[in-house]
Amino acid sequence: MQRIQSMTRILSGIQPTGRFHWGNYFGAIRQYIDLQNGRDTAFYFIANLHALTTIRDKKILKENTLNAALDLLALGLDPDRATLFMQSDVPEVSELCWILMTTAPMGLLERCHAYKDKKAKGLTADAGLFAYPVLMAADILLYDSDLVPVGEDQIQHIEVARDIAGAFNHSFGEVFVMPKPYVVKDTAKVPGLDGGKMSKSYNNSVEVFEDLKTQKKKIMGIKTDSRPMEEPKDPAGDHLFELYSLFASAEQIKELETTYRKGGFGYGSVKSGLAESAEKYFGEARAKREELAAKPDIVKDVLSFGASTARKKASAVLKRVKAACGVG
């Protein structure tokens, strides 16, 4: 993990579109936890406004949002070292979104991946999806964020936020801090049960806090090749080996690598080892989640306090923005 100055503000959000899976944890949440530097330097929000572009059931969205908070806290997000809040609890973000839309270039939004891909497939795209990058820019700019942790495939999001901030600054002066992407170099590759990228959309994911019996059944059903047990196998690119490597120690990984190259083993033993390792890895977090779930008021208090903290910064930035463009 790269060293970050203690006063640098980190900001990131995660959508509550379903329960977090291994890909969410190793690809993002683990980095959130590592980047907790101090009380006011890390802002993390549950992006429930963004989720409205895909979820149209209020009960599901509310449940997902609460589950996201429970999961993040159980996995190690510390409200004494980071600010955790719901996006919708900071109404300033919606107001800033509209102000930014008045200067955001149309061509820029038309080139953004989500909208462009949907249109290319001949699917109907709503205005929310089209304006999605502007709300994302508002999320980032509203807190004078210095760095936004992203994977290499998400750098465009920060470039768009910078372009939108630049368009506003060009019209009204140097108002916004220009954010930079913090490219997480040690993000683990997390394949799904079928070898493709793990995703809820592809129905190939394993949830972090899934019922253990269901989780083991999924793991034992992981697709593998049909080569004979005695045949040596190359661990490179083998998705079962990659999944096992997420949870195993360096010594265990080296031992399994030797076994693969030597041959004479069955994939079933590797799957059993994976199930046991995953259960052990998340065991402490699972116990903490059960404890938090029994005390929902604690979670609500964390989110309420986080929103209060976030709004103090957000209101100051929005006041600056409104004064600059003449609506303050």
Per-residue pLDDT reduced to its tens digit, 250-268:
999 999 999 999 999 999 9
Assess contact for 13 and 44: CB atoms under 8 A: yes
Measure Cα distances from 323 to 66, 144, 179, 250, 328 in Å.
36, 16, 21, 55, 5
User: pLDDT band at residue 156, thresholds of 50, 70 and 90?
Assistant: confident
Its pTM stands at 0.91
Q: 130: part of which helix (H) or strand (E)?
A: helix 127-141
CA distance 239 to 194: 8
Judge whether 62 counts as a catalytic residue.
no
CA distance 92 to 246: 39
Of 119, 189, 200, 322, which one is the catalytic site residue? 200
Residue ranges of the chain assigned to CATH 3.40.50.620: 10-190+296-325
What value does the mean pLDDT of the chain take? Answer: 92
| Tens of pLDDT, residues 276-325 | 999 999 999 999 999 999 999 999 999 999 999 999 999 999 999 999 99
Give the CATH number of domain 10-190+296-325. Answer: 3.40.50.620
Fold classification of 212-281 (topology level): Tyrosyl-Transfer RNA Synthetase (1.10.240)
Tokens representing 213 are: 């019996």
Of 59, 121, 180, 197, which one is the catalytic site residue? 197
Sign of CA dihedral 13, 15, 21, 27: negative
Residue ranges of the chain assigned to CATH 1.10.240.10: 212-281
Judge whether 217 counts as a catalytic residue.
no
- Which residues, including other chains, have CB under 8 Å from residue 319's CB and lie 6 or more apart? 328
Encode burial over 255-266: b for 16+ CB neighbours within 10 A, e otherwise: ebeebbeeeeee
263 vs 2 pLDDT, higher one: 263
CA distance 82 to 78: 6
Judge whether 118 counts as a catalytic residue.
yes
How far out from the chain centre does Cα 201 lie? 15
User: pLDDT band at residue 4, thresholds of 50, 70 and 90?
Assistant: very low
Measure Cα distances from 256 to 22, 246, 250, 253, 260 in Å.
21, 13, 10, 5, 6
